[in-house]
Structure 1
Amino acid sequence: MFAEERQIQIVRELNVHGNVKVAQLSEKFKVTVETIRRDLEKLEAENKLVRTHGGAIAVESRDDDEIPFNDRTILNREEKLSIVNVAKQLIQEKDVIFLDASSTSLYLAKELPNLNLTVITNSILIAYELFSRSNIQVVMTGGNLTKSSLSLVGPSAIRTIKYYHINKIFFSCKAFDMDRGISDSNEQQAAVKREVIEMAEEKILLLDYSKIKKRSFVFIEDMNVLDYLIVDRKADLQYLQKLKNSEIKLLVGE
């Protein structure tokens, strides 16, 4: 695990529990106590926590949407790459695919196979990643700019989506629960995803282990709309066993 990823997870622990202990973090992340102390010193210098004797306390809680996109890209990087390596195998010549504005979809954009494709996206970062690929036609939605993720949302984005026949949507979310389904923390992002899910022939959810057995603010869709659920090897596969009784294909990245 990279230091940056570990530090992001430390802040998340603080936001959930309000405080952390050096010894517990050392055991959790399998690094030395000295390494954790250096992490806490750095995070305190960035005003993300206040160090105490033997640990730290939170400065304030932060929603995932307030975490800079670059930090979210670093978080669970290896797991996201393993998911993407499976997802790209589902893409075929002349597919029209939609990639949402998630960090996992950005990784998928970087790994797209050398095929003739049309990629529709509301992510400026994904469009920029693909603009030089001569074999890929890139279509951007209109909409209002969300600065935290450099993505486009709102009525204009949704209207654009209605014009296209989409073979596959590859998307992520903030939370997945077997009973509650797929949910997100941002209403406008959820609305865009909901519209594409309705339009697309195949729905493919890219889900790293940290989002499973959780619920977020905005309901997107029931899990039964999915054709594929792609997870990493750290995912709670026992929890996902219920999918065997559904038509959803569960794929696991290595």
Structure 2
Amino acid sequence: MLVAERHRKIVEIVNKKLSVRVSELSKMFSVTEETIRRDLEKLEKEGRLLRSHGGAVSIERDQQLELSYLEREVTNAKEKKAIAAEAVKLIQPGDQIVLDASSTAWYMAKELPNVPLTVITNSIRVAIELSVKDQIKVMSTGGMLSSKSLSYIGPLAERSLETYHVNKAFLSCKGVHLEGGLSDSNEWQALIKKQMMEIADKTILLVDSSKFGVRTFALINHIEKVDEIITDSNIHPSYKKEFEGKNTKITIVPLL
């Protein structure tokens, strides 16, 4: 098989399966894993797929599943604003925190008082929101720009976080599942959120009640890695009981 034909078929397979591992492609085409890695590197440069840890993911999948920041801003806005306001209560002057690129984190940035803080974020919208608060030091991860979420993702963004340590990480996700853990529809977002958890003393998960019982494409981390969950009063009582049984603090915010 010619190299060009193999490349065409690899793209077809990735788009059909949404994600595929290097080892799978190596067996399919009877070539070494190193050859497949070179293929994936070339195809990524051509904009035909995205490499992931151990394989590749479909660009079409990311376009289909990652909601734009405008869509996320209006989805369950009432719940997200209430959760964000509660999360701000956990912040003390002098804290060093990290905020992800979720719409809830953006609402939180709007609520933050202008007091001495250091905020690391991969979100352009969060950084702009905080730029008018002169006592808050804002640090951006940099990295590959996701136009849908207006956030930085990818290996550069992940590596930039490795050099820092923060008191608290505030993040959201697409799914919270007792067995499946925290998950996101976009693998790049999942990876940077995991790194945010790694550099923090404490992780606070900000999720509205619709996220519970949901398990999406990419694992962020296990439930046990979360120190506190803030959600709204529409959460089913069974989930509250389950998390309390795991000794995970859960704060339920009433909706007015």
Which TM-score applies when normalising by structure 2?
0.73
Identical columns (%): 42
How far is 1:132 from its partner? 1.3
Structure 1 residue aligned with 2:143: 143
- Structure 2 residue ranges without an equivalent (≥5): 1-60
Mapping for residues 52-201 of structure 1, pairs under 5 Å = 65-201=65-201
In structure 2, the residue corresponding to 1:148 is in which secondary structure?
A: coil
- Check the 8 A contact 1:85/1:253 in 2, yes or no: no
> Alignment length, in residue pairs?
194
C-alpha separation in 1, matches of 2:232 and 2:141: 30
Structure 2 residue aligned with 1:234: 234
Q: Deviations over 1:142-182 (max 9, x none)?
A: 10000001100111111110111111100000000111110
Structure 2 residue aligned with 1:253: 253
Deviates more, 1:160-169 or 1:63-72: 63-72
Q: Deviations over 1:12-41 (max 9, x none)?
A: xxxxxxxxxxxxxxxxxxxxxxxxxxxxxx
AA at the equivalent of 1:131: S
C-alpha separation in 1, matches of 2:190 and 2:166: 18
- Check the 8 A contact 1:101/1:122 in 2, yes or no: yes
In structure 2, the residue corresponding to 1:168 is in which secondary structure?
A: strand
Q: Deviations over 1:98-144 (max 9, x none)?
A: 00001111000000133210010000010011111111000000100
Structure 1 residue aligned with 2:26: none
AA at the equivalent of 2:144: N
C-alpha separation in 2, matches of 1:215 and 1:119: 29
Mapping for residues 187-226 of structure 1, pairs under 5 Å = 187-226=187-226
- Check the 8 A contact 2:114/2:134 in 1, yes or no: no
Q: Deviations over 1:198-240 (max 9, x none)?
A: 1100000001011111100001111011110000011113222
C-alpha separation in 2, matches of 1:121 and 1:74: 21
AA at the equivalent of 1:197: M
Mapping for residues 17-28 of structure 1, pairs under 5 Å = none
Distance 1:77 1:202, change over 3 A: same
C-alpha separation in 2, matches of 1:251 and 1:213: 17
C-alpha separation in 2, matches of 1:67 and 1:220: 18
